[in-house]
């Protein structure tokens, strides 16, 4: 594609949503980071959500994520919306389902934009919208033997 006249050296991006998915296997930071590489991007924001060892004062031993069959389509819809509302060069996000232990990766998201502030804002919006809108549920198991289901993660 030809460079635009407004920004010399910047070419139109291929479709900016490069990777979305719900996976039952370990996630790769390298895969997500590689998916958002773009020569016209001046900033890449990468978010890695991990399973922490506590929640609301209780020790967490493990957790499981499950999702509705529509979760992957909803994640894609959110990714497309973020890409349309920010100057996204490339965007990638994957979320894990199944049983996870403390320290395991639950979500990996990355966004590249022409400038760092835009990349930060777009990545935060992407992760926040996924957390609040995608039908993924968290089943936490605590050290004291209790457990809890948490709505959309």
DSSP 14-71: S-SEEEEEEESS---HHHHHHHT--TT-SEEEEEEEE--SEETTEEEEEEEEEE-TTH
Question: Structural domain tally of the chain?
Answer: 1
pLDDT at res. 11:
53
Does 16 reside within a domain?
Answer: no
CATH number for the domain spanning 81: value is 3.90.1170.40
Q: Are 96 and 116 within 8 A, CB to CB?
A: no
Does 65 reside within a domain?
Answer: yes
CA distances from 144 to 61, 138, 147, 148 (A): 9, 18, 9, 12
**Reported pTM:** 0.89
Using CA atoms, how far apart are residues 153 and 150, in angstroms rounded to an integer?
7
Does 86 reside within a domain?
Answer: yes
Does 10 reside within a domain?
Answer: no
The partner residues of 48 in beta bridges, in order of sequence, read 108
pLDDT at res. 66:
97
pLDDT at res. 150:
86
Tokens 């920004």 belong to 7
pLDDT at res. 14:
79
Q: Which residues contact 145 (CB under 8 A, 6 or more apart)?
A: none
Q: Indicate the burial class of 38 (C-beta count within 10 angstroms; 0-12, 13-18, 19 or more).
A: buried
pLDDT at res. 5:
37
Does 92 reside within a domain?
Answer: yes
Per run of 10 residues, the mean pLDDT along the chain (length 153 residues) is 42 82 98 97 98 94 96 98 98 98 97 98 98 96 93 54
Does 8 reside within a domain?
Answer: no
């Amino acid at each position: 594609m030809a460079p635009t006249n407004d920004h010399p050296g910047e070419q139109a991006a291929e479709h900016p949503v490069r990777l979305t998915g719900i996976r039952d296997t370990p996630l790769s930071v390298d895969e997500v980071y590689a998916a958002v590489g773009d020569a016209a991007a001046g900033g890449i924001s990468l978010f890695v959500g991990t399973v922490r060892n506590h929640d609301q004062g209780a020790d967490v031993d493990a957790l499981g994520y499950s999702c509705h069959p529509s979760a992957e389509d909803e994640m894609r819809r959110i990714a497309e919306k973020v890409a349309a509302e920010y100057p996204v060069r490339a965007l990638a996000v994957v979320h894990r389902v199944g049983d996870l232990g403390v320290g395991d990766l639950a979500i990996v998201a990355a966004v590249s934009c022409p400038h760092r502030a835009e990349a930060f804002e777009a990545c935060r919006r992407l992760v926040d919208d996924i957390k609040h809108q995608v039908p993924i549920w968290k089943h936490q198991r605590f050290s004291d033997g209790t457990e809890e289901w948490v709505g959309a993660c």
